[in-house]
């Protein structure tokens, strides 16, 4: 089922059972239960292919390859989303003494990863969107 939020981003709403039918076990654990894939194991960690990264759960466009950079952290890193209305942020206090900012898909509310600031990367925003590969699909451009 799809509805619209206040940013006019189409919203995808499904029951947990519907998500389980649509996603693999690993995709469900990360996207719907906020787990994390192991570092340096994801298919997009070192990818340099030009294109658009979409939410694996709902297909929403989230990031562009032009904002992807090598951070050597073990997960794909981006310095900004495609547009601010494509993601939403939640304060994550699941690790004691280490509050983080969780990044979710604005369209389907799937967990994507976390965003960190002030790490000193040479990027225009000084932000690192640390995103699980399993949360993304890459649609190559310029073929």
Residues in CB range of 112: below 8 A, 6 or more apart: 31, 55, 62, 87, 103, 104, 105, 129, 131, 132, 135, 136
Q: Which H or E run contains 25?
A: helix 25-31
Q: Of residues 58, 105, 108, 130, which has the active-site annotation?
A: 130
| Cβ neighbour number for residue 7 with a 10 Å cutoff | 13
Is 130 one of the catalytic residues?
A: yes
Q: Which CA distances in Å does 27 have to 7, 30, 52, 65, 70?
A: 26, 5, 19, 21, 23
Nearest to 105 by CA among 2, 6, 10, 3: 10
Residues with active-site annotation: 130
């Amino acid at each position: 089922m799809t509805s619209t939020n206040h940013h006019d981003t189409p919203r995808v709403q499904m029951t947990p059972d519907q998500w389980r039918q649509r996603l693999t076990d690993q995709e469900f654990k990360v996207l719907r239960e906020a787990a994390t894939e192991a570092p340096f194991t994801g298919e997009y960690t070192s990818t340099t292919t030009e294109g658009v990264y979409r939410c694996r759960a709902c297909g929403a466009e989230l990031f562009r390859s032009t904002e992807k950079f090598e951070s050597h952290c073990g997960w794909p890193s981006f310095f900004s989303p495609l547009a601010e209305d494509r993601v939403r942020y939640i304060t994550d206090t699941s690790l004691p003494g280490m509050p983080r900012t969780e990044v979710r898909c604005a369209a389907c509310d799937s967990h994507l990863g976390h965003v960190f600031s002030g790490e000193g990367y040479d990027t225009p925003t000084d932000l690192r969107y640390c995103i699980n590969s399993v949360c993304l699909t890459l649609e190559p451009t310029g073929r």
